[in-house]
Amino acid sequence: MNHRPEAPTRGGDQETLSTVLGDLRYRRVLATLVNRSSPVPLQELTSHLTERESDGESTEIPGSDRHSIRIDLTHRILPKLEAAECIDRQSDGVIAADPLPTNSLGMSLPDLREPEHPLWEPISVLLSHPRRQELAECLVAAPGRISLGTLTTILTKRRLGPRPTSYNAKRTLRITLHHRDLPQLAAVDLVEYDQSAQRISPNPRLSNVVDTTGIDPQINQ
């Protein structure tokens, strides 16, 4: 098979940056790079990532797995990190961007040198789509338990303001919340979601994450 690297589109857009920071493998690569002041060759980066994903026992990893990691670095990880303006590629390897563009997200994030920090788990869920950051803020502000219908209305008004909303747009948002967003938030203990009754109860962890990160969602995305 002829592998072609993803063509990086420079610009460091927030969606791409959120994607890479929300993925553990991307964070592990960045953790290796931010600890180095000089470029890291691809072979060395492959070894570091292999060791990290095998709890430091890279010699026990089959060659096929090591090759798979190298392919992933070459054709997925590094192109997207470059597109997010998190790295610079040089003739002798890869180096972390200085400064990293993380401030553009409007959130206080855990140290990238700790890619397995417990806060990354819920933050990763919120980073996966700007809508989820708005959702988190709406739920924190809600007076306890809230229905899916009410939440859909609040989010719609927050995004569109006084502009009229079509029935289909509101229905699509409700379905997305029900099948994707709320189950994902529930999976990391940010909310309790009763799918049959379509009722949402924010958990204390949600307030803690919002307060700690200072989420500042971009409206109308």
Q: What percent of the chain has pLDDT above 70? A: 86
Contact between 173 and 155 (Cβ < 8 Å): yes
Which residue type sits at 13?
Answer: D
Question: What domains are there in the chain, each with its CATH number?
Answer: 14-110 (1.10.10), 122-213 (1.10.10.2260)
Contact between 177 and 131 (Cβ < 8 Å): no
Cα–Cα distance, 219 to 53 (Å, whole number):
36
Cα–Cα distance, 7 to 82 (Å, whole number):
10
Full-model pTM: 0.81
DSSP H or E segment with residue 132: helix 130-141
Q: DSSP letter for 217, please.
A: P
**Please, what is the angle between helix 148-160 and helix 167-176, to 10°?**
120
Summarised one tens digit per residue, pLDDT across range 8-53 is: 443 457 889 998 999 999 999 999 999 999 999 999 999 999 998 8
Confidence of residue 112 (pLDDT cuts 50, 70, 90): very high
The Cβ of residue 100 has, within 10 Å, a number of other Cβ atoms equal to 20
CA count, 13 A, side-chain hemisphere, 150: 13
Summarised one tens digit per residue, pLDDT across range 156-202 is: 888 766 666 677 889 999 999 999 999 999 999 999 999 999 999 99
Query: Omega before 115 cis (within 30°)?
Result: no
Residue 107 neighbours by CB under 8 Å, 6+ apart: 123, 213, 214, 215, 216
- β-sheet bridge partners, residue 88: 95
Q: What percent of the chain has pLDDT above 90? A: 68
Confidence of residue 103 (pLDDT cuts 50, 70, 90): confident
Residue 32 neighbours by CB under 8 Å, 6+ apart: 40, 45, 48, 49, 52
- Compute CA distances 65 → 1, 46, 62, 177, whole Å: 17, 11, 5, 37
Contact between 193 and 183 (Cβ < 8 Å): yes
